[in-house]
Amino acid sequence: MSMNYREAGAGDPVIFIHGFPFNHTMWQPQLANAADGWRFIAPDLRGFGETPDDSSAPLTMETFADDIVALMDDLGLEQAVLVGLSMGGYVALDVVTRYADRVRALVLTATRANADSAEAKANRHSLAARARSSGARAVIDTMLPHLISAHSRLKMPELIKTVQGMMESASPQTMARALEGMALRKDYVADLANVNVSTMIIRGDQDDIIPAAEMETIARSVRGARHEVISLAGHLPNLENPELFNKLLGSFLAYLPPALKLGDFSLSF
Ligand code: MLT
């Protein structure tokens, strides 16, 4: 399988994993400001953007996570910092759970570790059915009013159009399959105690989709996690306040411990 991605900058890798139903272009303000000494890589998950997929099974977080690790293998990256937003955060949590040694550090934004409730699963299945019968519009109409804070809508009226355009470019089939995959997602809360890499949580205080308590669970459960709140931002803080998001990311990257390279441990007798 081939995976489309864009990259910017040079240095140690940072992989940005987009949310649902977006694509790598949601990381444009980050790609345009790659931190010094870092290589920013933003892939399109399977079925989204320009990454093809012609299967019909649910798109599970495990599938997406395997694809991220396959991309790392392909690029010869032993480890990367993972930045995941919302569904991208579910994928990042799956990577750190199953491939802990491939993750150098984690940035989780507008996401949760808990699985869906029975009601949330039922809502996803009904939205998937509507995407299949009436197209992407069903998903766009359901999600769009909740993505961006009222403040951001006033301040950046063009952002709604950008986000809408990104959603319109997703195929209804892919949307339906990713919704089914998210409904199948496991609960990662118990795994949070085993995360032993530097972690930063970033949430918008106006996020209409992820309740603050769900992000606080992650912040509390991952040892030493840094917890940042971007005020007046909704579910897309990297787009709603890119200056502050980039500043937080830049400072997080700047203070990471140096990467361990294979061969750093030489035994002498
Ligand atoms: C996302 O932005 O990726 C979605 O809101 C995630 C979700 O529906 O749980």
SS3 state at 107: strand
Pocket-forming residues, ligand 1, beta carbon under 6 Å = 19-20, 86-87, 182, 209
- Give the pairing of strands 12-17 and 38-43: parallel
Question: What is the model's pTM?
Answer: 0.96
pLDDT in tens, 108-118: 999 999 999 99
Residue to mutate (ligand 1; options 48, 86, 93; most atoms within 8 A of CB): 86
Nearest CA to ligand 1 atom 4: 20
pLDDT in tens, 162-192: 999 999 999 999 999 999 999 999 999 999 9
Residue to mutate (ligand 1; options 16, 18, 20, 117; most atoms within 8 A of CB): 20
Residues in Cβ contact with 185 at an 8 Å cutoff, skipping those fewer than 6 apart:
60, 61, 90, 115, 116
pLDDT in tens, 211-256: 999 999 999 999 999 999 999 999 999 999 999 999 999 999 999 9
| Sign of the CA dihedral with 145 first, then 146, 148, and 154 last | positive
Rounded to 10°, the helix 172-183/61-75 angle is 110
Distance 40 CA to ligand 1 centre (A): 22
Nearest CA to ligand 1 atom 9: 87
Closest CA to 244 of 42, 29, 81, 92: 29
SS3 state at 116: coil
CA distances from 106 to 31, 32, 103, 131, 139 (A): 17, 20, 7, 32, 29
